[in-house]
Amino acid sequence: MDHQIAPSILNSDFLNLSKVIEMLNSSDADLIHLDIMDGVFVPNLTFGFPVIKQIKNAAKKPLDVHLMIVEPERYIQRFREAGADILTVHYEACKDLKQCLKDIRSLGMKASVSLKPATDVSVLEPYLPYLDMVLIMTVEPGYGGQSFIEASYEKVRMLKEMISKAGCPTLIEVDGGVGKNNLLKLKESGVDVFVVGTSIFQAEDPPMMIRELKDL
């Protein structure tokens, strides 16, 4: 499978969000990545259900929704209603991860789990049969524009080996400090889906940047 690009609108111009979504619709992007932060699990706040619904109404690409919130299981139904197609919860935030993943799938969404940089990938071994995707954070979650953590390559390789041994079709996604300088090496390590924010939205020609990232 060719790798996928999921532009993160966290770094986009929120005063012109409809134009941002129009641009992504007509671009070569595969997904639209939404970061949901509650100011508790991470020290930042973003947006909630009304904004997600408006994005869903305008979007022609699937919504890849990353929850950086405490007790995500309380809101699974509401995120589905708002328009999430892929729902990512944090391993560190779930009281019963297995049940949470089952609930996500039961509502027709793809189930994904994310790991903070300090969390070892081995913790996910029992959950791989319930996972459509794993999101490896390659920066500390909470803010855009951070520097890529170099140890992430080995973490991805270890996860890829785990997935292969389990015989699961689970995809690997990365988020944080991703761009043209490291995408190819990450792809060689085993990454399938790339969340890219700053590199796209600070480019002179964002659609062209998306195309270039797809072509790597």
Helical spans, DSSP H, in 48-167: 49-58, 76-82, 97-106, 152-166
Q: What are phi and psi of 38, to 5 degrees?
A: -110, 0
Instruction: Give yes or no: 28 in active site.
Output: no
Could you give the CA distance from residue 86 to residue 107 in angstroms, rounded to a whole number? 11
Packing angle, helices 206-215 and 17-26, rounded to 10: 40
Give the integer Cα–Cα distance in Å for 78 and 60. 20
Contacts of 137 (CB under 8 A, 6+ apart): 114, 115, 116, 117, 174, 175, 176
Catalytic residue among 30, 103, 175, 192: 175
User: Has 175 been annotated as catalytic?
Assistant: yes
- Among the listed residues 35, 64, 103, 192, the single catalytic one is 35
194 residue type, one letter: F
As annotated, the active-site residues are 35, 175
